[in-house]
A and B are shown apart, each in its own frame.
Chain A
Amino acid sequence: MTAAAPAGKRLVRVAPGLAFPVRVRSLSIGALLLVLLAVASVATLTLGRLGVALADLPSALTGGAQGKDAFVIKRLRGPRLVTAMAVGAAFGLSGALFQSVTRNPLGSPDVIGLGAGAGAGAAMTALLFPGVLPVPVGAVLGAALAMTVVYLATGAGFRSPGRLVVAGIGVAAIANALIEYVVYAVERDRASVLKAYVNGSLNASSWDDALTAATALLVALPVCLFLFRDLAVVEMGDETAEALGAAPARTKTLAVLLSIGLSGAAVAAAGPIAFLALCGPQIARRLTNASGPHLALSALTGAVLLPLADLAAQQLPLFDDLPVGIYTMALGGAYLAYLLVHEWRRGTL
């Protein structure tokens, strides 16, 4: 494999003065992921009792759907699929930015308490202001509050990865205690609904949810283009980065803020789905054999993983209507197990 060799790279010119070195392997992996995404999409729309027949799919997608098929495409599975893709991409990109800054393969915004904070915000909203404040608004407020506390607690902003993780453990502990308490305190049916939301679910996704996550991605794109070269330098370490004329502190802060913003939007759209921001970039990295997280491919991997997990949530006959977050949690466990075995074989643990 010529993964690191300059021969494996091509320069892609986007505009005069803006060009990116692209590795051939990254391109082929990207193409593979796109094919996988297409397969997952077709499967999502066609499988099951409510699925659109495969032969009718092309005409149904181009607007010729009638009756049941129109309902499934426009109201039921269409928005759910697009939300899954956008949310998955947002989580994947968010995790890639975060891991790039912290240089920690186990880092992601949910590790520093964003998901738990969102869950606690949702739980408190449901307990204190039922019917007044929408639960997703509470989730975003909770996530923002959790991140503010983490920011203030480190005393060094978002620039110190070690402190971030420990502060995140503290904030997540309080948030989880709040969630458990609210789930304990309210009556069973409401508790059950709340618990499903806290796991992250696409069961009731609408076009609005898809729009929320897609808007975040659109806003993030130019910032990523602006950041990605500095990030590559920052990954070499603070001293090297400073010697090369980069501003590592500013780059790190900006990247973590963007990462949190993306995760926040994804949480608003689908709830705090576990492990996706952690696994997406890592799976992408291992597919491409790259040294650090690849932003575009991480987003793409997320956009493939979540529809796949949601396909499992919809079609596996094990349990009915489980939140997709439970499947991503199992996926996270599998990824960590792989990491354990892999690093063990290499003798690095």
Chain B
Amino acid sequence: MAASATTPPRGTGRKGPGAARSAFTLLLALTLLAVALLASVTHGSLPTSFRAVWDVLRGQGDPYITTVVESRYPRTLLGLVAGASLAVAGTLMQGVTRNPLAEPGLLGVTAGASASIVTASAYLGVSGQLATLWWSLPGALLAGLVVYAVGTRGGGSGTVRLVLAGAVLSAILMAYVQAVTLSRPQVFDGYRYWVVGSLGGRGFDVLWAVLPLAGGALAVALLLGGALNTVALGDDPAAALGAKPARTKAVGLLAATVLGAAATAAVGPVAFVGLAVPHVVRALVGADFRRQLVFSALLGPALLLCADVVGRLVLRPQELMVGVVTAFVGAPALLVAVRRMKRTA
């Protein structure tokens, strides 16, 4: 379970039996993601045949079907970006804090985004999808940075302190959010649609707004893999090898904060993608962080999009929001995993 338990394999570029296996795993992950993307475009509240969608994709579809299918593009791409952000953020956090339960919500990004949206809506009259995004993003970032600053100040491992700092900020901000939403019905109305976590009802403008931030942080995260491998050896050996563990951890947590904030701002709070995907990925590819990060970026969106498709199908023509579906998929997986824990852990 713990990434630090085994020495990460170095020099994975060499040819050998491992190379064939990892190529196969990569192919599998890419196929899974492709299937999820395709499913997200072909399935929805209006049933569309695969053949009709294929015609649309080739540019020769029926105009009505074309409109329907094209309306599914923004949520599909949002799922891609948000899923990758959440999963990579989770992998970074679990790697840096060595806490197998770490996930972006621990940093207080959800509470920060909620408090910011509620404040803007209650006292400034802000409403609408894009305006909500522009308020939730700084709120989430600010909360994440405060938790990060308090949780890691003064050196030390700081893992417990990080969790505690996140819990403090979340409790206080959520008390504020509940107080405002319960005393102002209008604010409550907007908030309850946001907090459930959904890919639907958002246009390309939401995607373009978060893409630079999420893309930049994803790039930083993917480049951090080698350094994280060295840090996983432990602080002292890593320092002896000439690495700077403190800097690597700081960059990792900051990237995780930005990714978590971007995803939450774009689609609302979505549980379990950031928690579960890193575990699946570790079971698939082992302890090497370079591979873990790449596979998280592939399997996170696959999971999120599949959950979204399921949510579109179970209550057709209504929708079950993706945040609800991921909780119902992720929680049982967690309950099964509990039995593998040491009894006294």
Which chain A residue has the least Cβ–Cβ distance from B150? Answer: A340
What is the minimal beta-carbon distance from B87 to any residue of chain A, in angstroms? 17
Contact B185 A192 (CB under 8 A): yes
What is the minimal beta-carbon distance from B167 to any residue of chain A, in angstroms? 5
Contact flags A139-170 to B (C-beta < 8 A → 1, else 0): 00000000001000111100111110011011
Contact B327 A163 (CB under 8 A): no
Contact flags A106-121 to B (C-beta < 8 A → 1, else 0): 0000000000000000
Contact flags B179-207 to A (C-beta < 8 A → 1, else 0): 11111010011001101110000000000
Which chain B residue has the least Cβ–Cβ distance from A329? Answer: B175
- What's the tally of chain A residues with a CB closer than 8 Å to chain B? 52
**Among the listed A180, A320, A325, A349, which residue makes an inter-chain contact with B158, where contact means beta carbons less than 8 Å apart?**
A349
Contact B171 A336 (CB under 8 A): yes
What is the minimal beta-carbon distance from A145 to any residue of chain B, in angstroms? 14
**Among the listed B154, B182, B189, B321, which residue makes an inter-chain contact with A323, where contact means beta carbons less than 8 Å apart?**
B182
Instruction: List 15 contacting pairs A-B, 8 Å CB cutoff, sorted by A.
Output: A160-B344, A160-B345, A166-B101, A167-B334, A180-B324, A183-B196, A184-B192, A184-B193, A323-B182, A326-B178, A327-B175, A330-B175, A340-B150, A349-B156, A349-B164
Contact A170 B171 (CB under 8 A): no
Contact B327 A176 (CB under 8 A): yes
Contact B164 A180 (CB under 8 A): no
Contacts of B101 in A (CB 8 A): 166, 169
Contact A173 B331 (CB under 8 A): yes
Contacts of A161 in B (CB 8 A): 344
Which chain A residue has the least Cβ–Cβ distance from B154? Answer: A344
Contacts of A162 in B (CB 8 A): 341-345
Contact A167 B178 (CB under 8 A): no
**Among the listed A177, A325, A326, A340, which residue makes an inter-chain contact with B323, where contact means beta carbons less than 8 Å apart?**
A177
Contact A329 B178 (CB under 8 A): yes
Q: Contacts A333-B168, A336-B164 hold; do A170 and B334 have CB atoms under 8 A apart?
A: yes
Contact A318 B332 (CB under 8 A): no
Which chain B residue has the least Cβ–Cβ distance from A181? Answer: B324
Tell me, yes or no, whether A171 is within 8 Å of chain B by CB. Answer: yes
Instruction: Report the interface size class on chain B.
Output: 35 or more
Tell me, yes or no, whether B160 is within 8 Å of chain A by CB. Answer: yes
Contact B196 A181 (CB under 8 A): yes
Tell me, yes or no, whether B339 is within 8 Å of chain A by CB. Answer: yes
A-B CB pair tally, cutoff 8 Å = 149
In the bound assembly, the distance between CA atoms of A330 and B178 in angstroms comes to: 11
Contact A349 B196 (CB under 8 A): no
Contact A340 B164 (CB under 8 A): yes
Contact B179 A322 (CB under 8 A): yes
Contacts of A339 in B (CB 8 A): 164
The B194-226 residues at the A interface (CB cut-off 8 A) are: 195-197
Contact A337 B168 (CB under 8 A): yes
Q: Contacts A153-B335, A191-B192 hold; do A174 and B327 have CB atoms under 8 A apart?
A: yes
Tell me, yes or no, whether A226 is within 8 Å of chain B by CB. Answer: no
User: What would 14 more interface pairs be, CB under 8 Å, given A166-B338, A319-B183?
Assistant: A162-B343, A163-B338, A166-B337, A167-B338, A177-B327, A181-B196, A188-B189, A192-B185, A192-B188, A326-B175, A333-B172, A339-B164, A340-B161, A349-B160
**Among the listed A155, A163, A171, A344, which residue makes an inter-chain contact with B331, where contact means beta carbons less than 8 Å apart?**
A171
Tell me, yes or no, whether B310 is within 8 Å of chain A by CB. Answer: no
- The residues of A with any CB-CB pair to B shorter than 8 Å are 149, 153-156, 159-163, 166-167, 169-171, 173-174, 176-178, 180-181, 183-184, 188-189, 191-192, 195-196, 199, 275, 318-320, 322-323, 325-327, 329-330, 332-334, 336-337, 339-340, 343-344, 349
Tell me, yes or no, whether B165 is within 8 Å of chain A by CB. Answer: yes
What is the minimal beta-carbon distance from B34 to any residue of chain A, in angstroms? 28
What is the minimal beta-carbon distance from A123 to any residue of chain B, in angstroms? 12
Q: Contacts A153-B335, A183-B192, A349-B156 hold; do A173 and B345 have CB atoms under 8 A apart?
A: no
Which chain A residue has the least Cβ–Cβ distance from B342? Answer: A162
In the bound assembly, the distance between CA atoms of A170 and B334 in angstroms comes to: 6
Contact flags B306-345 to A (C-beta < 8 A → 1, else 0): 0000000000000011011001101110110111011111
**Among the listed B165, B178, B188, B320, which residue makes an inter-chain contact with A191, where contact means beta carbons less than 8 Å apart?**
B188
What is the minimal beta-carbon distance from A27 to any residue of chain B, in angstroms? 33
**Among the listed B176, B334, B344, which residue makes an inter-chain contact with A169, where contact means beta carbons less than 8 Å apart?**
B334
Which chain B residue has the least Cβ–Cβ distance from A195? Answer: B182
Q: Contacts A183-B192, A184-B196 hold; do A170 and B335 have CB atoms under 8 A apart?
A: yes
Closest 10 CB pairs of A and B: A333-B171, A177-B327, A162-B345, A333-B172, A170-B334, A170-B331, A329-B175, A153-B335, A330-B175, A349-B161
What is the minimal beta-carbon distance from B1 to any residue of chain A, in angstroms? 12
Contacts of B332 in A (CB 8 A): 170
